[in-house]
Structure 1
Amino acid sequence: MKVLVLNAGSSSQKSCLYDLPEGAFPETAAEPIWEAMVDWGIHPDYGQLTVTAQGTEHEIRLSRDTPNHGLEEMLATLVQGETPVLGALTEISIVGHRVVHGGDRYCQATLIDEAVKQTIEELIPLAPNHNPAHLEEILGVEAVLGDVPQVAVFDTAFHTSIPAAAATYPIPYDWFEKGIRRYGFHGISHRYCAQQAATLVGKPLESLRMITAHLGNGCSLTAVRGGESVNTTMGFTPLEGLMMGTRSGSIDPAIPLYLMTQMGVEASEVDRLLNKQSGLKGIFGPSGDLREILQAREGGDERARLAFEMYVLRLQGAIAALIPQLGGLDVLAFTAGVGENSAAVRSATCAGFEFLGLELDESKNQGSAKNSRISTANSGVAVVVVHAQEDWAIARECWQLARCP
């Protein structure tokens, strides 16, 4: 079964093709047989399509007026040019899309029909940087591949189980009835991380009280109990919660009002500052890349030191805030770019939870820690590192729906 996974962003599009068996789903993640990336931010005059398949990497320049943002050209590389892996596009059995916002209407992966497309369109005001790209991509696949089944895998779906007390903001209740509530994001990653973490500790997911930490440029935590999300740090938008690469995370809500009413900053500029110029970048200055910050901190840069300390302090505080709702903590799981690769972040974060009996094995933490347990055998909390495999998780959802639509 050939499963195409498409992950559209506001200025880029990642894609991969898996060749999956018709029988049992593989226990371990398979490598895609083809990968592609379209990046419209690399140059003002053109987009760059980079395709990798069969050990070959090929780059193609795309005109700015290319229809469907290069989707047709990208799919053509599956059957022709330098990287063919299919005899014909009709070999594609099903297409899966990561969709950032599904509101509270979808709790699982869903075959796309007119109602689903309408919902994605209606939710554009809540995800203006992503949902338009998802919808355009879905329509583009229809134009190129015809009536091939398409699946929406929503980032918000895992969090539809959050109870009302956690989902509702302490503002006039009629705002909640109008859709202003905690939705949560990174749900595909959090669900996959929780499942893999349970496997690593050798216990049923439903028996564990777990916090999953998706730490990349965007960062969020999810409290998982009984295999379900019961709370998460991102909220109405992905801006809420932890300090991130370029996003502020939670701040006093009066600050944007003050900037607009007292300092004359336009609302659009406030939005840009909080999403693109804050977080680690806002404090450190040169960038929001934690690798650069750690290197600068080693060199004695005070703002790098401050940025790191703030990042860890807010991360620890958010973890601690979720524990009472879980009634304790059995597993802390780190995933995504920072979570998987920064031993310094894991070590500093876990040091704040020694009172829970958490003991980190620093030799394991400093080593190649992906898909492994890095706490000691006697630790009161199991700490694991899970390699993020969002595309694989989407492919699994497609495989299941293709077999049992």
Structure 2
Amino acid sequence: MRISRTLYFDHQATTPVDERVLQKMIPFFREKFGNPHASDHRVGWETSRAVAEAAHSIANLIGADADEIVFTSGATEANNLALLGLGRHETAGARRKILVSAVEHKSVLEVARILEQKLGYTVEHLPVDKDGRVSVSDLEDALDDDVLAVSIMAVNNEIGTIQDINGLAEAARKAGALFHCDAAQAPVAMNLESLARDVDFLSLSAHKMYGPAGIGILYIRRDLQDRIEPLIYGGGQQNGLRSGTLPAALCIGMGAAAEILVAQANEKERSILRKRRDTFLEKLLGLPWPVRLNGPRGENRHPGNVNVVFPGLSAHDILNALQPGLAASTGSACTSGIPEPSHVLKAIGLTGDEAEASIRFSLGFGTTDSDVEDAVGLIGQALERLSKIPSAHFE
């Protein structure tokens, strides 16, 4: 898709709000603006009912029930609520170990660090293979009677790896450990209709699935809700798990986005997106400069993700040279500005220089064939200009 003069290839950072989603949200900024917790009048009742319907739609997306959905400000808060909330509640328990994969989002890795430094838990980082995958056997080897929880994301935000969540969660369950899944990148990448049956906690963020920014959810299995200590106290909303007035319009927007993902022929949409991604990748690999793919090929990868390394160059120099024509990124927008190579790319075996030469391009449902052609042309032109700079050295 094109935004004014810019081709947008950063859909894993955020997606545009679907027009159908926006239209459902607008009334809740205007004539239906009631507080959903106002229980004494019709305006509040109507808003409350709409929020409840949104929770039902989101639950339907992942195969859960509406009373297992807790609205948050996004997946980062949901990850914190799941792991920190559980860890705080279980400090007196016998299980004192947390397992996380080496390629998790920083909002999981940082919470794990806090659990270790502030609450005395032992944290172990599960290794991944060259494609960013956690093997079930490696997880089984790490599991013992001391493990409280395992956290492994469904789809990686940098290299697009799709994990075997069913197999990993089953291994954790057999060992008596709880399983949390950061599924923020999953709605576009895979069918989620039974995911909640496999896991105990699951995080989603609306702005990764064509809904509005500022809203997400944590699925908490019903029988585990009394084992989560809230991060936010106050009016006792959402069964006391997350106090505060819900942003009704944003909740409705996330519910609408979930409805669209369930209703539309999503496998067909993913197949089209996957073909465009593969075309884009092949054209990149066909440029007269060295380019290598990071992560897996084929269906085990997010259908819109292309993460490549341009050996001998700086990703930031390439991205700057592409402005304002093309928007892409070096990885997670949540870690932008941190002057260090991607922990995900280092975990799959890249050197620091290779990681710093890597760019994530992420296509979306609105990306067209002409967008792909134009983007490759712009990248080729940028590489040609940079190749003439004495400090640049292609390998």
- In the superposition, the TM-score normalised over structure 2's length comes to 0.28
More strand by proportion, 1 or 2? Answer: 1
- In the superposition, the TM-score normalised over structure 1's length comes to 0.28
